[in-house]
Structure 1
Amino acid sequence: MMETQEEPELCFPHLLNASCRKHARPHSEAMLIYILLSFISLLTASLNLLVIVSISHFRQLHTPTNLLLLSLAVSDFLVGLLVMPFQILLIKPCWLLGDVLCTVWFFAPYITIYSSVTNMVLISVNRYLAICDPLRYSTKFSQKTVKFCVLLCWLYCVMYSFIVLNNNLKQPGRFNSCYGECVINVIGAVDLVLSFIIPFSAIIILYVRVFVVAVSQARSMRSHVAAVKVQRSLTVTVRKSEIKAAKTLGVTVVVFLMCYCPPYCVSLSGYKLKIGTSTNDFLVFLLLSNSCLNPLIYTFLYPWFRKSVKLILTLQILQPKSSEACVK
C-alpha cells in the first residue's frame, strides 16, 4: 500500500503552481511571536507618546536637545504605531494584501528608520558642540536652528525613501517569484553606505571625541573645584550639566548601535535572509525594539521625564497653566 505524500499548503490555492507555498511554523512559536510583537508595539507607541506629550506640553522642556529627543520620539512612535503591526503580517509567510500595498508599506519603515538614524546623528552633533565648543553652542544650536535641522532631517528621509523605492513603484510585485510574496529591490551598496556606514561612522567618531573631552573636563573640574570663585560656579555647574547630558545621551547612542548594527552587519556580510525565517524575524525585532528602549532609558536616566509622566498620568496637565509646571 503506497503512502500519499501530503501536499504543502498554498497561499492562494486557486492559483495552483503560481502561488507561494506556506512555511508553517509551530503553533506555539507563532503565537509567542504574535503576542510579543503586539505587546511591544503597544508599549512602544504608548511610551513614546508620553515623551511627545511631555516635551510638547511643558515649556521648561523646550530646549534644543529635547527638541531632538522629540523628533526621535515621533519616529519611534510611528514605528510602534505603523511598522510593528505590519511587521506581524510579514511574519506570516504569505502576504495577502496585494503588490501595491506591499510596496507602499515599505515607505513607513524606511522613513521612520532613516529618521531615527539621522536624529541620532543630530544628537551626536549637538553633544559634540555642547562639550567641545560650549562658548558658541548657544548660537550654533538655537531652537530655530534645531527646528530647521529636524525639518531637513524628515524631508531627507522622505526623499531618500522615494529614491530607494522608486524602482518598485513603477511595477509593484515585479520582483516576486510567486503570488503571496512581498519582495522589494534596492541598490544594496548605496543603501548600506548612506544609511549605515556614513551615519554610524559619524556617530561613533563624534561620541569618541565627546567622551575624550568630557573626561578631560571632568578631571579639570575636580582638580580646580576648590579654587573656583563664586562668580564662576555657574559655569562649572553648566559644564557638569552638559557632561551629564552627554553621558545620558551616550547610553541612548550605545543602545541604538547595539540594536542597529547586527542587521546591517548581516547585510554587509552578503548573507541572504528570507522573510519569514526565525533569523530574519529576530534581526528585525532587534532593530525595531530600539524604538521601545529609548523611552525606557529616559525613565531611568531623566528625572524630568519621570516627573512629567506622573503629571500626565494623574491628569494634572489638564489644569490651568500646567505647562508652566516645574519638572526639572
Structure 2
Amino acid sequence: LLLTMSTPDEAELCYPHLGNSSCRRIMRSHSVSVLISIILSSISVLTVTLNLLVIISISHFKKLHTPTNFLLLSLALSDFSVGFVWIFQILLLDGCWYFSDGWCVFNAFLTSISTAASVGTVVLISVDRYVAVCDPMHYSTKVTPNTAKMSVVLCWFCSVVCYTTMLKDNIEHPGGFNTCVGECVVYLPPVAGIVSLLLKFLIPVSIIVVLYVRVFAVAVSQARAMRSHVTVVTLHGSLKVNRSELKAARALGVVVVVSIMCLSPLYIATLSAGFAGLKASSYVVFSCVFFINSLLNPVIYAFLYPWFRKCVKCIFSLQILKSGSSEANILSCSHAKFVLMIFGSCP
C-alpha cells in the first residue's frame, strides 16, 4: 500500500493537482474552522427556519392578509433568501470555491437582489406607517392590499432589473474575472458601485429617517393629547390616530432601526476606505453584520407581535392542517381556543 503525503505548499492550494494555477486556501486551525462553521451554520438554519415561519403564517391565515403584513411577507422572503446564501459563505470559509463559475454568479446575483429587496421593503414599511399615523383618515383608501402587493412586486422587479444590468458582464462571462482556479470573483464597475451605494443605502436611509421623524413627532403629539384629552391637530385637519396604528409604528420602528444599524457599518466602511480600499477580512465582518439582520427581523416579530407567537404554536402543533384553519381569527383568539376557532368565530 503506497501512501502519498501532500507537501505544505500543496496543502495550501484549493486544487493541488493544478499546481500554480490553483488559488491558495486560507489556513486556519481545525478548531477555529469548526467553530466558525458551527456559528455560520446555526445562523443560516435559524434565519431560514424563522423566516419560513413568518412566510407560512402570513400566507396561511387570511386575517393576516393586510397591507402591512404583505410588506412583512416580502421582508421575510428576502431574509429567507439571505439565509439561504449563508450556505455559500460557509463553503467559502477557506477561500476556495468548489462549484462552477455559474453558481458563483448566481450566489452574487441572489445576494444582491435579496438585500436590495429587503432595503426597498423597509422603505415601503416606513411609507406605510407614515400614511397610517400621519393621514389615518385616508389610510384605508390610499393603502389597500392590492396597492401593497403591487408595491412589493415593483420593488422585487426593480431589484432584479437593476442587478441584472450591473452584473451583466459577469452573467455573460462567468468566471471571466477570476485570477486563479477556485476563485469566486464578481466584478462591479465603479459607476455601478456608486449606484448601488445610492440605491441601497444613502437614498433609502434618508427616506426612512425623514418619514420616521415625522411619525415620531405625530406619536408624541398623540400621546400628549391622550393625556390631556385633546384632539391632535395636523395639516390634514383635526383627527385622532388609532392606538393600534401607533403601537404598530413603534414595533415596526424597531425593525427599521435595527435594519439601519445592520446596514450602516458595511457602507460606512466602504465610503471611508474607498471602493477599492476595503480589506477582504473587514468586508467579510461587515457583510456578516449586514446579513445578521435577516435573522433579527423574525426574532423582533416574536417579541413584539402576539399573533406571530400564536401562529408558531399553531404551526408546530399542526393545527394549520385542519380544515378551516385559514379562516381563524389569529389576531384576537388565544391558542387554547384555536380548535374551536377553526369551526367558527372565536367567542
TM-score (norm 2): 0.85
Pairwise CA distance, 1:55: 1.0
Q: Name the structure 2 match of 1:156.
A: 158
For the residues of structure 2 that align with 1:188 and 1:57, how far apart are their CA atoms?
39
Contact 1:91 1:281 in 2 (8 A): no
Counterpart of 2:24 in structure 1 is: 21
Name the residue aligned to 1:133.
Answer: 135
Q: Look up the SS of the partner of 2:175 in the other structure.
A: coil
Q: Which residue, out of 298, 308, 313, partners 1:310?
A: 313
* Separation of aligned partners in 2, 1:23 and 1:43: 27
Letter in 2 for 1:25: R
Alpha-carbon distance change, 307 to 189 in structure 1, aligned in 2, over 3 angstroms: same
Distance in 1, matches of 2:310 and 2:26, equals: 48
- Give aligned-pair identity as a percent: 55
Q: TM-score normalized by structure 1?
A: 0.90
Contact 1:298 1:305 in 2 (8 A): yes
Of stretches 133-142 and 90-99 in structure 1, the one that deviates more from structure 2 is 90-99
Change (3 A) 1:291 1:31: same
Alignment of 1:174-193 (within 5 A): 174-186=176-188, 187-193=192-198
Match of 1:11 among 10, 14, 35: 14
Letter in 2 for 1:57: H
AA at the equivalent of 1:142: T
Give the aligned partner of residue 231 of structure 1. Answer: none
Q: Which residue of 2 aligns with 1:43?
A: 46
Q: How far did 1:149 drift?
A: 0.6
Is the Cα–Cα contact under 8 Å of residues 75 and 116 in structure 1 kept in the other structure?
yes
Q: Secondary structure at the match of 2:40?
A: helix
Question: Alpha-carbon deviation of 1:173?
Answer: 2.1
Q: 1:274 to 1:18 in 2, by over 3 A?
A: farther
1:210 to 206, 215, 228: 215
Q: Which has the higher helix share?
A: 1
Q: Deviations over 1:139-168 (max 9, x none)?
A: 110011111111101111111110111121
Question: 4+ runs of 1 displaced by more than 6 Å?
Answer: none
Structure 2 SS opposite 1:106: helix
Alpha-carbon distance between aligned partners in 2 of 1:6 and 1:61, rounded to the nearest angstrom = 59
Higher relative contact order (CA 8 A, sep 6+): 1
Deviation string, structure 1 residues 61-99 (Cα, Å, up to 9, x no partner): 11111111011111111222x211111112221112132
Aligned to 1:115: 117
Q: Give the one of 210, 215, 224 matched to 1:219.
A: 224
1:262 alignment partner, one of 257, 261, 265: 265
Structure 1 segment 69-108 matched on structure 2, within 5 A: 69-80=72-83, 82-108=84-110
Q: How much is the aligned-residue C-alpha RMSD, in angstroms?
A: 1.9
Aligned residues: 313
- Deviation of 1:282 after TM superposition, in Å, equals 2.3
The Cα of 1:6 is off from its aligned counterpart by: 5.0
